[in-house]
């Protein structure tokens, strides 16, 4: 019989997926920092500061989603990405982009 039937495929797919989550988190961090920089150095308005605050909240939420997913990928048999988690990641990303645009305008 085949040995290791219950073990994970030794391929690099889980590692690539972890790296993709980390790159996306880094991109979100850069957007949040640039939005804060633009709001502070471009003249702090009430709308700009609200955009920065909401950007930071969206960034923190995405950071939490990504961290949980990266940890889940470290298990022997990682489960697939649930639709609710995927929707949360997409929602955080879109919200971060919208709030960053609000800061610039």
pLDDT of amino acid 74: 80
Q: Which regions in the chain score pLDDT beneath 70?
A: 1-11
pLDDT of amino acid 23: 93
The values of phi and psi at residue 35, to 5°, are -65, -45
Task: Assign 46 to helix, strand or coil.
Answer: helix
pLDDT of amino acid 1: 46
Contacts of 18 (CB under 8 A, 6+ apart): 70, 73, 74
pLDDT of amino acid 5: 56
Distance CA 3, CA 24 (A): 36
The reported pTM is 0.76
**pLDDT single digits (tens) 31-45:** 888 888 887 887 777
């Amino acid at each position: 019989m085949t040995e290791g039937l219950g073990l994970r495929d030794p391929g690099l797919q889980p590692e690539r997926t972890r790296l993709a989550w980390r790159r996306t988190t880094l991109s979100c961090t850069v957007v949040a920092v640039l939005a804060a920089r633009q709001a502070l150095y471009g003249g702090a308005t009430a709308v700009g500061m609200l955009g920065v605050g909401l950007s930071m909240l969206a960034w923190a939420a995405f950071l939490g989603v990504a961290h949980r997913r990266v940890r889940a990928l470290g298990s022997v048999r990682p489960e697939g990405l649930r639709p609710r988690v995927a929707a949360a990641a997409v929602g955080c990303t879109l919200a971060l982009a919208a709030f960053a645009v609000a800061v610039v305008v």
